Amino acid sequence: MALADPQSVTISAVPVSLPRAGQTLGSFAAADGTVLMTVRDGSSARRTRRSVQLKKNLIVADPLFPTQNQNITYSASLTIDHPKNGVVVADVIALANALVAWAISANVTKIAGGEA
């Protein structure tokens, strides 16, 4: 089953629509290409790993050459990794939901600021 098309995120109180990008399953992009969402599904013989990444592209002034611009990117992601045997999916979901609930603005601000 595929995610809905389009996906929607809100960045700094601005909603961004992310329609499916091309024929690639799990790839969504804003019309102007500044915001990208990628959903990945990877497995090995013993583990399953799924992740979602939200990436933003910006054009900013180059600090060494202020009259020139450079393209920069930054991202945030969530990865769910679990063994194929020995754990029920409901427990994996509960753990991931606990992390998402913990990631309130105050805690994300601390992590982004370098606190550990």
Tell me the three-class secondary structure of 58-73, residue by residue: EEEECCCCCCCEEEEE
Look-up of token digits 């054009």: 59
- The CA distance from 52 to 111, in Å, is 19
- pLDDT band for position 6 (cuts 50, 70, 90): very high
Residue in 21, 22, 20, 24 with CA at minimum distance from that of residue 4: 20
List of residues 6+ apart from 42 with CB closer than 8 A: 48, 49, 50
- pLDDT tens by residue, 73-82: 999 999 999 9
- pLDDT tens by residue, 19-55: 999 777 789 999 999 999 999 988 898 999 999 999 9
List of residues 6+ apart from 2 with CB closer than 8 A: 25
